[in-house]
Amino acid sequence: MAIKLGHRPVKYVPFIAQTSDEPFSAQDVNRLLSEAEQAYESYMRRLEADNLEIRARCDSQIVELREITGICADRQAASQAVIESQSSRIATLGGETAELTAQLEGLRASISWRLTRPLRVLSRLLRRRGDDQM
């Protein structure tokens, strides 16, 4: 025999522990069944309430994770823009460095630089001598 309790049918097992030799009356069986049905429905309500609470927490955490994901994506895009800007700046500075190095080498290889070497040496010696006297 199946009895419907709440949402699900529950199979009735006609064995109930007795404390005396007298059989249970129909009223006792009905009372016990009613108590069991109430306990079952109370348990199901608690489960449904717990389920709703857990779903609400999960939904809240999903929203929070989406916000964090958005923030991370924004930061990644900003970081990528900075990296590209800095890479461009490094390339520009590398070109400028190469150009200035070539100019300096050209200056040092020039005839005027070689001819004025004795003057530069004499100037350094005089400056050192002036620093030593002070």
How does pLDDT run across 35-63, given as a tens digit for each residue?
999 999 999 999 999 999 999 999 999 99
Q: What is the pLDDT of residue 121?
A: 93
32 in Cβ contact with 16 (< 8 Å): yes
Min mean pLDDT across 15-19, 25-29, 65-69 is at: 15-19
Q: What is the pLDDT of residue 131?
A: 78
Cα–Cα dist 53/130, whole Å: 87
